[in-house]
Structure 1
Amino acid sequence: MSIKFGTSGLRGLSVDLDGPPTTVHTVAFVRHLRQAGFAAPGDEVFVARDFRQSSPAIAARAMAAIAAAGLKPVDCGALPTPALALLGLRHRRASLMITGSHIPADRNGIKFYRPDGEIDKVDEAAITVIAQAAELPPAESEPAPGDRSGEARALFLDRNRALLPEGVLAGLRVGVYEHSTVARDMLGDILSHFGADCVPLGRSETFIPVDTEAVSSETIAKLKRWAAEHRLDAIVSADGDGDRPLVADEGGTPLRGDLLGLVAADFLGAKVIATPVTSNSGIEAAGNYRVMRTRVGSPYVIAAMAEAVAKGEGAVMGFEANGGTLTATPFAVHGGTLAPLPTRDCFLPILAALYRAVSRGKPLSALASGYALPVAASDRIENYVQERSAALMAMLRSSPEALAAFLAPVGLPAETSDIDGLRITLEDRSIIHLRPSGNAPEMRCYVEARDEAAAQELLAKGLALLSGWVAG
């Protein structure tokens, strides 16, 4: 797998990133910051990481490259991505997060932040050009990075403690699936602060990839077993770097990420929502707000939010189908003001969902069903090499006849959207969306149908079509 920018940051094999590619791209990032006026010689750059085995070594390489390029690396330790982003915004400093998010442990990545937030696609292109022409800097002695990990944690905890009334979750028994997410301890701290009775579950010192957009059957089985065994009202968790939420109801059934984002939008009183085309098609009719559909990836959601802010459209936020929630404007929360944090965050949607359920006196399952969204499901096929997925998508786009022939086992195409992958509305109004992952060698399949059984059947058929396709 080559080193390249995906839907969110630079991604590649761990063995490659623990080498020259990290040095070259970090130096290119610093040079871009200086050329664009975002940093001056000697400025601090914050660096944090997830719990992958490869992350400390890659972080050390990045910090050495920052020092060699003339800026000052600051070690923030193992930290959720939104906590690092908040620290960078507070001090107006650039930052790097070493994480592969939810992808397998043999891969990793780097997320880059300017002093004003995530880099965009223009920045990615500039960094790539500089990296292609960059030479490795001369060997440097080990940098002596500062340490802002305590400050970053305190700042992020304070932000989340201000979201809800004190003690509002008292009486809730909440499981925290800790696995290897870097958010695990802070999730427990925050929930306990609001009075929840927290039950730690499944802590692991070995990295476990958890994809909140396509929760595995093995994970769902664990959640259901824990929910019954511990008599839980909810189970919460996150992906590896803590920017995508996982919330399961009292029966252990995960709530879809786009539903969690929708709950957060209602909690905040949003007027404009930016969300990718992969999010549920029922969002537009679910509330009194304008919905902006984007391609998949936080840079596209952030660009749409910025467009709405520039037009003065009021309270603007966004979320992805994985549940990661972003805020572009200030929001009033329980007598205070929540400052913008335009990067994915798992804490806000988790707290919003628990609070909405408690305040309405409903279990999470009833809160979810009350939105009456079309039934949606999604999954992925791993180890689907990118050459294969590119050839498949080219074939499907080659003609309406080619697309119809491929989809014949599931239905007749009626409408097609090509915003990101191919999203096909079938004649029975069900939806199947085929999209190569931008982060890993995977093919993703998203479906919507009239009921759960129909959605699962369509998903199974879609995955079978993807698995069985061979380039001619």
Structure 2
Amino acid sequence: MDKQLISSEVIAHSNIVFGTSGARGLVTDFTPNVCAAFSVAFIKSIDSEFVFNTVALAIDNRPSSHVIAQACAEGLKQLDLNVVYYGVIPTPALAYKAMQDAIPCIMVTGSHIPFDRNGLKFYRPDGEITKADEQAILNTKISLTPLSTKLVDLAISGDAKSAYIQRYAELFSNDALAGKKVGIYEHSSAGRDIYKELFESLGAQVTSLERSDIFVPIDTEAVSPEDKQKALNWSAQYGFDAIFSTDGDGDRPLVADEFGNWLNGDTLGLLTSQLLNIEALAVPVSCNTAIERSNSFKKITRTKIGSPYVIAEFSDLKERFTRVAGFEANGGYLLGSDINVNGKTLSALPTRDALLPALLVLAQTQSIARMLVELPQRFVSSDRVKEFPTEKSKALLIKLANNVELLTSALNLPKHKAVDITDGLRIILDNNDILHLRPSGNAPELRCYTESDSKKMADYLVKATFEYITK
């Protein structure tokens, strides 16, 4: 008989760690036993709170994701649980279906992080796990039989895909997008077999763009120059009203206006919240201050970066307000309460979603560019330095926090009037420009977010900061 493993010990020695949203690490470290250990520890950490006998699984299009899902399933079967496997679908589609069925679920995805990495996202029957749940998973000690090298294949159910399409098809009339020309940049998105079908069912004329058999790690907070140019070219060629895309697991939207300009995620989130008449918002500290300047909301709470922190604020907000939501600078939209939309009830979905913001802005009679003009004109820019070790990032931020002038003087910037260390180092200058540095929670990368009254200046701040840091 194989010697039993202890889940917490396997996890502790795995090199897999929780980031801003989910457990992430190198593909080579996601061994079958590690995947099984995370899965059984997750279930045992919540099984005293809920009654269920089934767990749902789904994956993104990374080549490594299917084997990881197989290993998760084998671990879950050791707990005498049934496993329903939905194949390649967006994370919010899996989360929505599992919440409707009141069962937990696990999404295998590395989202936008580099190709040599992957990850696991965990959802309780009532939604995305919290930071406290993450610690419970790490600390749970449960025996596990080592997995064999031969893993059982998984039969795919299409029920989650159908339920996700139905959620939005029923919210809008079948001519809501009539007359709209939409390009869908499909690349390797987990939702690429959903979006065209849904948009066409609502009346849009859809053109599929650049489906890829090779995984493309789209980062909606750091759109590459190549993808920026692609959108401009596609818009000029096809005359689109909008271009829609997502990151790898379909929970972060990427939307371009009729001119082919990609919207910043927090700008899209602001528009969406206005259209939904949201009363109270929870957003990370990195989001555009145009949110406050819009005077559109009764309450705005700022959090650390990561969907668990946004979701953690929903309970308090719902005690005082009926229409509650949140979004991140990456555009992922989190609906914190059930709300009425178009005379119908849209149920809460407290995890990042890419479809709701895209559909809402496209369903308006005004063009996207016209809606943007009516927002407070604060411009943001962001980018990342790849292969920048987390410990190096932390040491740099400590150094700069102790002497902000090292950076502001080197860049010939105005003096700073405030420093915010809620998450990373956020420097507010005397002219209200903002420069924010933080290590990525998912990969060895250093991120920079900037904000200014000028797009040129916002872009300059990112460029000059990284030149200073990497010189």
When normalised by structure 2's length, the TM-score is 0.93
Look up the match of 1:393: 397
Look up the match of 2:139: 129
Look up the match of 2:313: 304
Answer whether contact 1:31 1:69 (CA < 8 A) is retained: no
Alpha-carbon distance in structure 2 between the residues aligned to 1:430 and 1:37: 46
| Residue 72 of structure 1: how far off its partner (Å) | 1.7
- Which amino acid in structure 2 is aligned with residue 266 of structure 1? Q
- Which amino acid in structure 1 is aligned with residue 283 of structure 2? T
Select the residue among 436, 443, 455 that pairs with 2:439: 436
Alpha-carbon distance in structure 2 between the residues aligned to 1:325 and 1:104: 23
Answer whether contact 2:70 2:153 (CA < 8 A) is retained: no
Look up the match of 2:381: 377
% same residue: 40
Secondary structure at 1:274 match in 2: strand
Select the residue among 255, 261, 265 that pairs with 1:257: 265
Alpha-carbon distance in structure 2 between the residues aligned to 1:338 and 1:143: 38
Which runs of no fewer than 5 residues in structure 2 stay unpaired? Answer: 1-13
Look up the match of 2:77: 67
Look up the match of 1:200: 208
Q: Deviations over 1:47-74 (max 9, x none)?
A: 0000001000111011111111332221
Answer whether contact 1:68 1:138 (CA < 8 A) is retained: no
Alpha-carbon distance in structure 1 between the residues aligned to 2:254 and 2:153: 37
Q: Deviations over 1:146-189 (max 9, x none)?
A: 64x32111111111112323212111111100000011121111
Look up the match of 2:368: 364
Select the residue among 32, 37, 41 that pairs with 1:28: 41
Answer whether contact 1:73 1:146 (CA < 8 A) is retained: no
Select the residue among 162, 172, 180 that pairs with 1:164: 172
Look up the match of 2:10: none
Alpha-carbon distance in structure 1 between the residues aligned to 2:350 and 2:44: 24
Look up the match of 1:105: 115
Alpha-carbon distance in structure 2 between the residues aligned to 1:98 and 1:139: 18
Look up the match of 1:84: 94
Look up the match of 1:344: 352
Look up the match of 2:416: 413
| Residue 307 of structure 1: how far off its partner (Å) | 1.6
Which runs of no fewer than 5 residues in structure 1 stay unpaired? Answer: none
Alpha-carbon distance in structure 1 between the residues aligned to 2:328 and 2:40: 30
User: Structure 1 residues 3, 159: closer, same or farther in 2, change over 3 A?
Assistant: same
Q: Deviations over 1:277-325 (max 9, x none)?
A: 111012012143111111100000001112211x231110111111100
Select the residue among 56, 66, 70 that pairs with 1:56: 66
Answer whether contact 2:70 2:154 (CA < 8 A) is retained: no
| Residue 137 of structure 1: how far off its partner (Å) | 1.9
Secondary structure at 1:209 match in 2: coil
Alpha-carbon distance in structure 2 between the residues aligned to 1:325 and 1:263: 11
Answer whether contact 1:416 1:424 (CA < 8 A) is retained: yes
Q: How many residues matched?
A: 454
Alpha-carbon distance in structure 2 between the residues aligned to 1:275 and 1:426: 21
Secondary structure at 1:444 match in 2: strand
1:171-210 paired onto structure 2 within 5 Å: 171-210=179-218
| Residue 207 of structure 1: how far off its partner (Å) | 0.2
- Which amino acid in structure 1 is aligned with residue 167 of structure 2? R
Say whether 1:120 aligns with 2:125. no
Alpha-carbon distance in structure 1 between the residues aligned to 2:245 and 2:407: 37
Q: Deviations over 1:232-265 (max 9, x none)?
A: 2211000111100000112211011001111111
Alpha-carbon distance in structure 1 between the residues aligned to 2:91 and 2:31: 20
Q: What is the Cα-based RMSD across aligned positions, in Å?
A: 1.7
Alpha-carbon distance in structure 2 between the residues aligned to 1:15 and 1:138: 17
Look up the match of 2:240: 232
